[in-house]
């Protein structure tokens, strides 16, 4: 790996050509297999077979694709900047006569910073127009509500509650019976076709 890094550094930092890099490889591997040599390189611990295997590996991995590595190290590339922009829409605070928003599934810090109902000082700063409007009861509405509630007895409530489920169940029962009849007819047609010879 040191030898491969050395050759890649020659290519990237020193801008060596393929021929110059091969010469550097030859200098580094000089003296392999010789016992007493004046040209001892840095890699004298390799045997001749190991040196051939290393050269084959470098030929396949680096020298065959030398132009690609030159392009990779020396050509300028456009830098892509990837970013995400999020648009967060916050719910409006509750304004009477609307109820406050549900807080289910919202972390408490988000609830306290964005959704919590306004304090007394904030409501005072909004003005007294809304408060005066809401504090004045409408006599027509109160009389209508009182009349509607007074006319309903406990028996009326029980009969209304009993009618609703019976209507729903009756409708479902009719639909199920209709579907069963259709399936029964389809099965009888199939069995008749199977029984009758052609």
Whether residue 95 is contained in a domain is answered as no
Whether residue 128 is contained in a domain is answered as no
Whether residue 12 is contained in a domain is answered as yes
Residue 53 has pLDDT above 80, yes or no: yes
Percent of the chain beyond pLDDT 90? 9
pLDDT for the residue numbered 158: 78
pLDDT band of residue 177 (cuts 50, 70, 90) is: very high
Residue 29 has pLDDT above 70, yes or no: yes
Domain boundary among 74, 106, 130: 74
Residue 89 has pLDDT above 90, yes or no: no
Q: pLDDT tens digit string along 113-168? A: 766 665 555 555 555 555 555 555 566 656 666 666 666 777 877 777 778 778 88
Domain boundary among 74, 105, 135: 74
Whether residue 64 is contained in a domain is answered as yes
Domain count across the chain: 2
Work out the mean pLDDT of the chain and round it to a whole number.
76
Percent of the chain beyond pLDDT 70? 65
146 token code pair: 């009182």
Provide the domain limits for residue 184.
148-195
pLDDT for the residue numbered 41: 57
Whether residue 120 is contained in a domain is answered as no
Residue 179 has pLDDT above 90, yes or no: yes
Q: How far apart are CA 59 and CA 46, in angstroms?
A: 17
Please return the burial class of 11, using the count of CB atoms within 10 Å of its CB with bins 0-12, 13-18 and 19+.
buried
pLDDT band of residue 74 (cuts 50, 70, 90) is: confident
């Amino acid at each position: 790996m040191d030898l491969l890094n050395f050759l890649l550094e020659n290519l990237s930092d020193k801008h060596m050509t393929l021929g110059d890099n091969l010469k550097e490889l030859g200098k580094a591997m000089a003296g392999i297999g010789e016992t007493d040599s004046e040209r001892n390189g840095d890699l004298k611990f390799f045997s001749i077979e190991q040196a051939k295997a290393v050269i084959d590996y470098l030929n396949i991995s680096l020298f065959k694709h030398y132009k690609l590595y030159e392009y990779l190290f020396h050509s300028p590339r456009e830098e892509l900047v990837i970013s995400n922009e999020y648009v967060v829409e916050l719910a409006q605070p509750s304004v009477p006569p609307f109820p406050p928003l549900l807080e289910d599934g919202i972390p408490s810090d988000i609830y306290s910073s964005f959704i919590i109902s306004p304090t007394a000082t904030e409501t005072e700063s909004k003005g007294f127009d809304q408060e005066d409007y809401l504090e004045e009861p409408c006599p027509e509405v109160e009389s209508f509500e009182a009349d509607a509630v007074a006319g309903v007895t406990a028996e009326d409530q029980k009969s209304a509650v009993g009618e609703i489920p019976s209507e729903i169940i009756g409708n479902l029962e009719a639909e199920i019976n209709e579907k069963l009849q259709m399936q029964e007819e389809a099965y009888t047609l199939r069995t008749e076709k199977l029984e009758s010879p052609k």
